[in-house]
Amino acid sequence: MFEAAVIKMIGMGILETLYMVFVSSAIAYLIGLPLGIILVITDKNGIHPMVAINKTLGFVVNIVRSVPFIILLITILPFTRLVVGTTYGANATVVPLIVSAAPFIARMVEASIKEVPEGVIEAAKAMGASTFQIIWKVLIPEAMPSLITGSAIAITTILGYSAMSGFVGGGGLGDIAIRYGYHRYQTDIMLVTVVILVIIVQLIQDIGLKLALKKDKRIS
Amino acid sequence: MDGREVIVKIRDLDKTYYSKYGKTHALKDINLDIYKGEIFGIIGLSGAGKSTLVRCINFLELPTKGEVIFDGLSLSSLTEKELRKARTSMGMIFQQFNLLAQRNALDNVCFPLEIAGVSRAKARERALELLELVGIADKAKSYPSQLSGGQQQRVAIARALATNPKILLCDEATSALDPNTTSSILELLRDINQKLGITIIIITHQMSVIERLCQRVAIIDKSYIAELGKVTDVFTNPQSEIAKELILSHGIKDISFTNERGRKLRIVFDGRSTYEPIISNIVLEAKAPVNILYADTRNIDGKAVGEMVIQLPEDELLSSNIIAYLKQININFMEVEENV
Ligand SMILES: Nc1ncnc2c1ncn2[C@@H]1O[C@H](COP(=O)(O)OP(=O)(O)OP(=O)(O)O)[C@@H](O)[C@H]1O
Ligand SMILES: [Mg+2]
In angstroms, the separation between the Cα of residue B318 and the nearest Cα of chain A is 43
Residue range A109-150, pLDDT digits in tens:
999 999 999 999 999 999 999 999 999 999 999 999 999 999
Asked whether the predicted pLDDT for residue B137 surpasses 80, the reply is yes
- Mean of all residue pLDDT scores within chain B: 87
Report how far residue A52's alpha carbon sits from residue A64's, in angstroms, rounded to the nearest whole number. Answer: 19
Mean pLDDT value across residues B95-115: 97
Q: Domain coordinates of chain B in residue numbers?
A: 6-247, 264-336
Q: How many interchain CB pairs under 8 A, A with B?
A: 79
Residues B168 and B160 sit within 8 Å (Cβ to Cβ): yes
| Residues whose CB falls within 8 Å of the CB of residue B231, separated by 6 or more in sequence, listed in order | B41, B210, B211, B214, B215, B216, B217, B277, B280
Closest Cα in chain A to B98: A120
pLDDT band at B326 (very low <50, low <70, confident <90, very high): confident
CB of B42 closer than 6 angstroms to any ligand 1 atom: no
Torsion of CA B233, B237, B242, B247, to 10 degrees: 90
Taken in order A183, A189, A191, A194, the sign of the CA dihedral is negative
Report how far residue B100's alpha carbon sits from residue B108's, in angstroms, rounded to the nearest whole number. Answer: 6
Residue range A53-110, pLDDT digits in tens:
999 999 999 999 999 999 999 999 999 999 999 988 899 999 999 999 999 999 999 9
Residues B262 and B314 sit within 8 Å (Cβ to Cβ): yes
Cα A31 to Cα A61, A105, B158, B206, B286, distances in angstroms: 12, 9, 38, 50, 65
Asked whether the predicted pLDDT for residue A21 surpasses 50, the reply is yes
Class of domain B6-247: alpha beta
Mean pLDDT value across residues A12-37: 96
Domain B6-247 and domain B264-336 have a common topology: no
Residue B339: the pLDDT is 47
Mean pLDDT value across residues B281-295: 78
Q: How many CA atoms lie within 13 A of B142 on its CB side?
A: 14
Instruction: Compute and round to an integer the Cα radius of gyration of chain A.
Output: 20
Map B12-48 to HEC letters.
EEEEEEEECCEEEEEEEEEEEEEECCCEEEEEECCCC
Residue range B192-209, pLDDT digits in tens:
999 999 999 999 988 889
- How would you classify residue A120: left for phi > 0, otherwise alpha for psi between -120 and 50, otherwise beta? alpha
Residue B219: the pLDDT is 95
Residue range A178-199, pLDDT digits in tens:
888 888 888 899 899 999 999 9
Three-state secondary-structure class, residue B199:
strand
Residue B303: the pLDDT is 59
The region of weakest confidence among A208-212, B145-149, B279-283 is: B279-283
Which architecture does CATH list for B264-336? Answer: 2-Layer Sandwich (3.30)
Give the DSSP letter of residue A117. Answer: -
Q: Nearest CA to B280 among B293, B289, B271, B270?
A: B289
Percent of chain B at pLDDT exceeding 90: 63
CB atoms within 10 A of CB A127: 27
Chain A interface includes B70 (CB < 8 A)? no
Residue B269: the pLDDT is 72
CATH number of A4-215: 1.10.3720.10
Strands B167-171 and B6-19, sheet pairing: unpaired
CB of B204 closer than 6 angstroms to any ligand 1 atom: no
Contact map slice: B 136-155 vs A, CB within 8 A: 143-146
Asked whether the predicted pLDDT for residue B301 surpasses 60, the reply is no
In one letter, which amino acid is B334?
M
Q: Judge residue A101's burial from the number of C-beta atoms within 10 Å of its C-beta, 0-12 exposed, 13-18 middle, 19 or more buried.
A: buried
pLDDT band at B253 (very low <50, low <70, confident <90, very high): very low
CB of B50 closer than 6 angstroms to any ligand 1 atom: yes
Cross-chain CB nearest to B84 (options A119, A123, A128): A128
Q: How many helices, marked H, and strands, marked E, lie in chain B?
A: 11, 14
Q: Domain coordinates of chain A in residue numbers?
A: 4-215
Asked whether the predicted pLDDT for residue B259 surpasses 80, the reply is no
Map B201-268 to HEC letters.
EEEECCHHHHHHHCCEEEEEECCEEEEEEEHHHHHHCCCCHHHHHHHHCCCCCCCCCCCCCCCEEEEE
